[in-house]
Structure 1
Amino acid sequence: MSALDNLVRISRWHLDEARQKLGDLERLETRLQDDLQRLDESLVAEQKAAQESDLARAAYPAYAEAQKVRRQRLERSIAEVQSQIAQARETVADAFREAKKYELARDNERARAKAKRERAEAAQMDEMGLQLHRRKQRSGGEGGAS
Protein backbone atom coordinates (compact mmCIF):
# COMPACT_ATOMS: atom_id res chain seq x y z
CA MET A 1 0.00 0.00 0.00
CA SER A 2 1.47 3.30 -1.08
CA ALA A 3 1.53 6.51 0.90
CA LEU A 4 -1.20 7.88 -1.37
CA ASP A 5 -3.39 4.85 -0.61
CA ASN A 6 -3.00 5.63 3.08
CA LEU A 7 -3.84 9.29 2.50
CA VAL A 8 -6.95 8.27 0.54
CA ARG A 9 -8.02 5.90 3.32
CA ILE A 10 -7.47 8.52 6.03
CA SER A 11 -9.18 11.30 4.07
CA ARG A 12 -12.16 9.01 3.39
CA TRP A 13 -12.34 8.26 7.11
CA HIS A 14 -12.36 12.01 7.86
CA LEU A 15 -15.09 12.50 5.26
CA ASP A 16 -17.19 9.74 6.82
CA GLU A 17 -16.73 11.30 10.25
CA ALA A 18 -17.78 14.72 8.95
CA ARG A 19 -20.84 13.22 7.25
CA GLN A 20 -21.77 11.40 10.46
CA LYS A 21 -21.55 14.62 12.46
CA LEU A 22 -23.66 16.44 9.87
CA GLY A 23 -26.27 13.69 10.01
CA ASP A 24 -26.34 13.86 13.81
CA LEU A 25 -26.87 17.62 13.70
CA GLU A 26 -29.62 17.33 11.10
CA ARG A 27 -31.40 14.71 13.22
CA LEU A 28 -31.07 17.00 16.25
CA GLU A 29 -32.60 19.87 14.29
CA THR A 30 -35.50 17.63 13.28
CA ARG A 31 -36.08 16.61 16.90
CA LEU A 32 -36.03 20.25 18.01
CA GLN A 33 -38.46 21.22 15.23
CA ASP A 34 -40.73 18.35 16.32
CA ASP A 35 -40.54 19.56 19.94
CA LEU A 36 -41.50 23.04 18.78
CA GLN A 37 -44.47 21.66 16.85
CA ARG A 38 -45.61 19.61 19.86
CA LEU A 39 -45.27 22.70 22.03
CA ASP A 40 -47.53 24.65 19.68
CA GLU A 41 -50.04 21.79 19.62
CA SER A 42 -50.13 21.57 23.41
CA LEU A 43 -50.62 25.34 23.64
CA VAL A 44 -53.63 25.10 21.32
CA ALA A 45 -55.02 22.21 23.40
CA GLU A 46 -54.59 24.21 26.61
CA GLN A 47 -56.31 27.21 25.04
CA LYS A 48 -59.31 25.00 24.26
CA ALA A 49 -59.27 23.60 27.78
CA ALA A 50 -59.11 27.14 29.21
CA GLN A 51 -62.21 28.06 27.27
CA GLU A 52 -64.10 25.12 28.74
CA SER A 53 -63.06 25.34 32.41
CA ASP A 54 -62.75 28.16 34.91
CA LEU A 55 -59.89 26.39 36.71
CA ALA A 56 -57.97 25.93 33.46
CA ARG A 57 -58.70 29.54 32.51
CA ALA A 58 -57.10 30.71 35.77
CA ALA A 59 -53.99 28.57 35.28
CA TYR A 60 -53.59 29.29 31.56
CA PRO A 61 -51.61 32.59 31.79
CA ALA A 62 -48.83 30.95 33.84
CA TYR A 63 -48.83 27.94 31.49
CA ALA A 64 -48.67 30.19 28.42
CA GLU A 65 -45.78 32.18 29.89
CA ALA A 66 -43.82 28.99 30.65
CA GLN A 67 -44.49 27.73 27.11
CA LYS A 68 -43.34 31.08 25.71
CA VAL A 69 -40.02 30.76 27.57
CA ARG A 70 -39.64 27.16 26.40
CA ARG A 71 -40.43 28.20 22.82
CA GLN A 72 -37.74 30.89 22.93
CA ARG A 73 -35.21 28.34 24.23
CA LEU A 74 -36.14 25.91 21.47
CA GLU A 75 -35.87 28.61 18.81
CA ARG A 76 -32.41 29.61 20.09
CA SER A 77 -31.35 25.96 20.09
CA ILE A 78 -32.63 25.50 16.55
CA ALA A 79 -30.76 28.60 15.36
CA GLU A 80 -27.57 27.36 17.02
CA VAL A 81 -27.93 23.90 15.50
CA GLN A 82 -28.60 25.42 12.07
CA SER A 83 -25.38 27.40 12.39
CA GLN A 84 -23.53 24.21 13.34
CA ILE A 85 -25.12 22.45 10.36
CA ALA A 86 -23.83 25.14 8.01
CA GLN A 87 -20.33 24.72 9.46
CA ALA A 88 -20.61 20.93 9.25
CA ARG A 89 -21.62 21.17 5.59
CA GLU A 90 -18.52 23.24 4.90
CA THR A 91 -16.43 20.66 6.74
CA VAL A 92 -17.96 17.86 4.65
CA ALA A 93 -17.27 19.80 1.45
CA ASP A 94 -13.66 20.42 2.49
CA ALA A 95 -13.17 16.78 3.47
CA PHE A 96 -14.67 15.67 0.15
CA ARG A 97 -12.35 17.95 -1.82
CA GLU A 98 -9.35 16.65 0.12
CA ALA A 99 -10.33 13.02 -0.40
CA LYS A 100 -10.91 13.66 -4.10
CA LYS A 101 -7.51 15.34 -4.42
CA TYR A 102 -5.75 12.31 -2.93
CA GLU A 103 -7.81 9.89 -5.01
CA LEU A 104 -6.91 11.75 -8.20
CA ALA A 105 -3.23 11.79 -7.23
CA ARG A 106 -3.37 8.05 -6.46
CA ASP A 107 -5.16 7.32 -9.75
CA ASN A 108 -2.61 9.41 -11.66
CA GLU A 109 0.23 7.57 -9.93
CA ARG A 110 -1.33 4.23 -10.86
CA ALA A 111 -1.83 5.34 -14.46
CA ARG A 112 1.81 6.47 -14.70
CA ALA A 113 2.99 3.16 -13.24
CA LYS A 114 0.78 1.22 -15.67
CA ALA A 115 2.03 3.25 -18.64
CA LYS A 116 5.63 2.65 -17.51
CA ARG A 117 4.97 -1.11 -17.26
CA GLU A 118 3.33 -1.12 -20.67
CA ARG A 119 6.27 0.78 -22.20
CA ALA A 120 8.70 -1.66 -20.61
CA GLU A 121 6.69 -4.63 -21.91
CA ALA A 122 6.48 -3.06 -25.37
CA ALA A 123 10.23 -2.43 -25.37
CA GLN A 124 10.82 -6.03 -24.31
CA MET A 125 8.51 -7.31 -27.05
CA ASP A 126 10.23 -5.05 -29.59
CA GLU A 127 13.60 -6.39 -28.52
CA MET A 128 12.37 -9.98 -28.80
CA GLY A 129 10.90 -9.25 -32.22
CA LEU A 130 14.15 -7.65 -33.37
CA GLN A 131 16.18 -10.61 -32.16
CA LEU A 132 13.81 -13.04 -33.92
CA HIS A 133 14.05 -10.99 -37.10
CA ARG A 134 17.86 -11.04 -36.93
CA ARG A 135 17.86 -14.81 -36.44
CA LYS A 136 15.54 -15.30 -39.40
CA GLN A 137 17.70 -13.09 -41.57
CA ARG A 138 20.85 -15.00 -40.61
CA SER A 139 19.27 -18.36 -41.23
CA GLY A 140 16.99 -17.30 -44.07
CA GLY A 141 19.60 -15.25 -45.90
CA GLU A 142 21.62 -18.35 -46.79
CA GLY A 143 18.90 -20.22 -48.69
CA GLY A 144 15.88 -17.97 -48.61
CA ALA A 145 15.57 -16.88 -52.33
CA SER A 146 14.88 -19.67 -54.85
Structure 2
Amino acid sequence: MAALDQLMRVHRWNLDEKRQKLAELERLRERLQGNIETLEEELRREKEAAARADVTSISLPAFIRSTLERRQKIEESVAEVERSIAAAREEIADAFQELKKYETAHSNQRRREAEKQSKREQVLADEAGLEMHRRRAAGAAGAD
Protein backbone atom coordinates (compact mmCIF):
# COMPACT_ATOMS: atom_id res chain seq x y z
CA MET A 1 0.00 0.00 0.00
CA ALA A 2 2.93 2.34 0.63
CA ALA A 3 3.92 2.17 -3.04
CA LEU A 4 0.41 3.13 -4.11
CA ASP A 5 0.41 6.01 -1.61
CA GLN A 6 3.70 7.22 -3.02
CA LEU A 7 2.42 7.00 -6.60
CA MET A 8 -0.63 9.03 -5.64
CA ARG A 9 1.56 11.65 -3.97
CA VAL A 10 3.75 11.92 -7.08
CA HIS A 11 0.72 12.25 -9.33
CA ARG A 12 -0.84 14.89 -7.06
CA TRP A 13 2.42 16.83 -7.15
CA ASN A 14 2.52 16.50 -10.94
CA LEU A 15 -1.07 17.74 -11.20
CA ASP A 16 -0.31 20.70 -8.92
CA GLU A 17 2.71 21.61 -11.04
CA LYS A 18 0.60 21.57 -14.19
CA ARG A 19 -2.04 23.73 -12.52
CA GLN A 20 0.62 26.25 -11.50
CA LYS A 21 1.94 26.33 -15.06
CA LEU A 22 -1.59 27.01 -16.33
CA ALA A 23 -2.04 29.82 -13.81
CA GLU A 24 1.25 31.39 -14.95
CA LEU A 25 0.17 31.19 -18.58
CA GLU A 26 -3.17 32.80 -17.77
CA ARG A 27 -1.39 35.62 -15.90
CA LEU A 28 0.89 36.11 -18.92
CA ARG A 29 -2.13 36.31 -21.22
CA GLU A 30 -3.71 38.93 -18.96
CA ARG A 31 -0.48 40.97 -18.95
CA LEU A 32 -0.28 40.82 -22.73
CA GLN A 33 -3.90 41.89 -23.08
CA GLY A 34 -3.15 44.72 -20.67
CA ASN A 35 -0.28 45.73 -22.94
CA ILE A 36 -2.68 45.90 -25.88
CA GLU A 37 -5.01 48.12 -23.87
CA THR A 38 -2.06 50.34 -22.94
CA LEU A 39 -1.09 50.65 -26.62
CA GLU A 40 -4.67 51.56 -27.51
CA GLU A 41 -4.65 54.26 -24.83
CA GLU A 42 -1.30 55.63 -26.06
CA LEU A 43 -2.61 55.69 -29.61
CA ARG A 44 -5.76 57.54 -28.52
CA ARG A 45 -3.71 60.12 -26.59
CA GLU A 46 -1.35 60.68 -29.54
CA LYS A 47 -4.28 61.20 -31.91
CA GLU A 48 -5.78 63.73 -29.52
CA ALA A 49 -2.43 65.52 -29.20
CA ALA A 50 -2.00 65.53 -32.98
CA ALA A 51 -5.41 67.07 -33.42
CA ARG A 52 -4.38 69.96 -31.13
CA ALA A 53 -0.94 70.62 -32.65
CA ASP A 54 0.04 70.59 -36.31
CA VAL A 55 3.71 69.83 -35.60
CA THR A 56 3.07 66.44 -33.99
CA SER A 57 0.64 65.38 -36.72
CA ILE A 58 3.65 64.86 -39.01
CA SER A 59 5.02 62.08 -36.81
CA LEU A 60 1.61 60.56 -36.10
CA PRO A 61 1.57 58.14 -39.09
CA ALA A 62 4.94 56.68 -38.06
CA PHE A 63 3.75 56.35 -34.47
CA ILE A 64 0.53 54.68 -35.58
CA ARG A 65 2.45 52.26 -37.82
CA SER A 66 4.89 51.29 -35.05
CA THR A 67 2.05 50.98 -32.52
CA LEU A 68 0.07 48.72 -34.86
CA GLU A 69 3.17 46.57 -35.44
CA ARG A 70 3.71 46.25 -31.69
CA ARG A 71 0.04 45.41 -31.24
CA GLN A 72 0.23 42.72 -33.92
CA LYS A 73 3.27 41.16 -32.24
CA ILE A 74 1.51 41.20 -28.88
CA GLU A 75 -1.61 39.65 -30.43
CA GLU A 76 0.56 36.92 -31.95
CA SER A 77 2.04 36.33 -28.50
CA VAL A 78 -1.47 36.17 -27.02
CA ALA A 79 -2.45 33.59 -29.65
CA GLU A 80 0.64 31.54 -28.82
CA VAL A 81 -0.13 31.74 -25.11
CA GLU A 82 -3.73 30.69 -25.84
CA ARG A 83 -2.41 27.59 -27.60
CA SER A 84 -0.14 26.89 -24.64
CA ILE A 85 -3.09 27.32 -22.26
CA ALA A 86 -5.15 24.84 -24.27
CA ALA A 87 -2.29 22.34 -24.20
CA ALA A 88 -1.80 22.89 -20.46
CA ARG A 89 -5.49 22.25 -19.84
CA GLU A 90 -5.25 18.98 -21.76
CA GLU A 91 -2.20 18.00 -19.71
CA ILE A 92 -4.12 18.79 -16.52
CA ALA A 93 -7.07 16.67 -17.65
CA ASP A 94 -4.73 13.76 -18.44
CA ALA A 95 -2.87 14.13 -15.13
CA PHE A 96 -6.17 14.29 -13.27
CA GLN A 97 -7.40 11.09 -14.95
CA GLU A 98 -4.14 9.36 -14.09
CA LEU A 99 -4.42 10.45 -10.46
CA LYS A 100 -8.02 9.24 -10.34
CA LYS A 101 -6.86 5.78 -11.52
CA TYR A 102 -4.47 5.52 -8.59
CA GLU A 103 -7.02 6.89 -6.14
CA THR A 104 -9.57 4.34 -7.35
CA ALA A 105 -7.03 1.53 -7.05
CA HIS A 106 -6.13 2.75 -3.56
CA SER A 107 -9.79 2.89 -2.57
CA ASN A 108 -10.41 -0.60 -3.96
CA GLN A 109 -7.37 -1.94 -2.12
CA ARG A 110 -8.55 -0.44 1.18
CA ARG A 111 -12.05 -1.85 0.61
CA ARG A 112 -10.64 -5.34 -0.08
CA GLU A 113 -8.45 -5.15 3.05
CA ALA A 114 -11.48 -4.08 5.11
CA GLU A 115 -13.49 -6.98 3.69
CA LYS A 116 -10.68 -9.43 4.54
CA GLN A 117 -10.49 -8.05 8.06
CA SER A 118 -14.25 -8.31 8.45
CA LYS A 119 -14.18 -11.93 7.23
CA ARG A 120 -11.38 -12.74 9.70
CA GLU A 121 -13.37 -11.20 12.53
CA GLN A 122 -16.48 -13.10 11.45
CA VAL A 123 -14.56 -16.40 11.38
CA LEU A 124 -13.23 -15.71 14.88
CA ALA A 125 -16.71 -14.82 16.12
CA ASP A 126 -18.15 -17.96 14.52
CA GLU A 127 -15.45 -20.11 16.11
CA ALA A 128 -16.10 -18.53 19.51
CA GLY A 129 -19.84 -19.13 19.07
CA LEU A 130 -19.26 -22.77 18.11
CA GLU A 131 -16.98 -23.26 21.08
CA MET A 132 -19.57 -21.79 23.45
CA HIS A 133 -22.25 -24.00 21.88
CA ARG A 134 -20.05 -27.08 22.34
CA ARG A 135 -19.39 -26.20 25.97
CA ARG A 136 -23.08 -25.68 26.67
CA ALA A 137 -23.92 -28.91 24.89
CA ALA A 138 -21.20 -30.73 26.82
CA GLY A 139 -22.41 -29.14 30.08
CA ALA A 140 -26.01 -30.05 29.35
CA ALA A 141 -25.03 -33.61 28.41
CA GLY A 142 -23.02 -33.95 31.66
CA ALA A 143 -25.95 -32.66 33.74
CA ASP A 144 -28.27 -35.35 32.41
1:45, CA displacement in angstroms? 1.1
Query: Structure 2 regions of 5+ residues with no counterpart?
Result: none
**What residue number does 1:102 align with?**
102
Q: Which amino acid aligns with 1:72?
A: Q
Deviation sequence 1:12-59 (CA, Å, 0-9, x none): 111000100011001100111111111111111111111001122112
RMSD over aligned Cα, in angstroms?
1.1
What amino acid is aligned across from residue 4 of structure 1 in structure 2? L
Pairwise CA distance, 1:143: 2.6
C-alpha distance in 1 between matches for 2:138 and 2:32: 89
Give distance in 2, aligned partners of 1:128 and 1:25. 65
Residue 17 of structure 1 is matched in structure 2 by 17
In the alignment, structure 1 segments of 5+ residues that lack a partner are none
CA distance in 2, matches of 1:110, 1:128: 27
Counterpart in 2 of 1:58? 58
Deviations 1:50-94 (CA, angstroms, capped at 9, x unpaired): 100112211211111110110011011000000000000000000
Q: Distance in 2 between matches of 1:56 and 1:95?
A: 56
AA of the residue aligned to 2:73:
R
Superposed, which structure 2 residues align to 1:1-146 within 5 Å?
Answer: 2-143=2-143
* Residues in 1 aligned to 2:92 and 2:56: alpha-carbon distance in whole angstroms: 50
Output the CA distance in 2 between the equivalents of 1:103 and 1:55: 70
Question: Alpha-carbon deviation of 1:124?
Answer: 0.7
Q: What is the alpha-carbon distance in structure 2 between the residues aligned to residue 27 and residue 140 of structure 1?
A: 83
Secondary structure (helix, strand or coil) at the match of 1:80 reads helix
- Report the TM-score, using the length of structure 2 for normalisation: 0.96
**Deviating 4+ runs (over 3 angstroms):** none
Percent of aligned pairs with the same residue? 46
Q: Which amino acid aligns with 1:46?
A: E
2:143 and 2:81 mapped to 1: Cα distance? 91
